[in-house]
Amino acid sequence: MIIPEDPTYDRYIVQPIVEALLAQSGRPARIETLMNPHMQGIEDAIAKSPDVVARYPQHDVFVLVLDRDGNPGRAERLTALQVRIREGVRPDKPFLYCLAEQEVEVWLLAAQWTACRREHPSWSWSDVRAAVDVKEQYFQPFFQQHRNLRVPGQGRAQLMSGVDIEAVMAKCPELQELGRQLQAVLTSV
């Protein structure tokens, strides 16, 4: 189960990424993105994650996906949450987390980088990765040209369809790490 900080749009980016990571590992699985309770931001997702893990015992693995948002201390906080869940809430259920650098929308930009460069030749990947306001500075200008209000996620699902996970992982090291963690967990489940 994927626990996003807000599933309204994030699920259309995060779920295809996790599905591709699992398929790459040779262990495709049915993946569900948490919709109930509907998380409304980082603090809500962190606070409710222990209850979610306890509430949904039928799921084998839980993956909390949050934006880093320029906050270097967020990883330590999530490591503490991970330990708390493993030691008290559900020691039998793997609880992983992934911090998008800086937002999950960067993963969509990575998946569409060829189109991004064609339409915005002055953009550099290092600038995109470093921008704390990446959503406003890079994602919105690209997405405004590609959004489709008639399809899921206003076009996010369409833009993530058939994601080349190798190309995205090459641009987003946090996904390489999530892939390693998922692989380790799946070999032990």
DSSP state of 40: -
DSSP state of 136: I
Give the tens place of pLDDT for each residue, 46-71: 999 999 999 999 999 999 999 998 88
Q: Percent of the chain, pLDDT > 70?
A: 99
Burial of 57 (0-12, 13-18, 19+ CB in 10 A): exposed
* Residue 149: pLDDT band with limits 50, 70, 90: confident
pTM, to two decimals: 0.93
The domain ranges of the chain are: 2-188
Angle (CA) 81 87 93, round 5°: 85
pLDDT at 27: 75
Please compute the mean of the pLDDT values over residues 18-30 and round it to a whole number: 85
Query: Reduced to 3 states, what is the DSSP secondary structure of residue 100?
Result: strand
Give the tens place of pLDDT for each residue, 66-104: 999 888 889 999 999 999 998 887 788 899 999 999 999
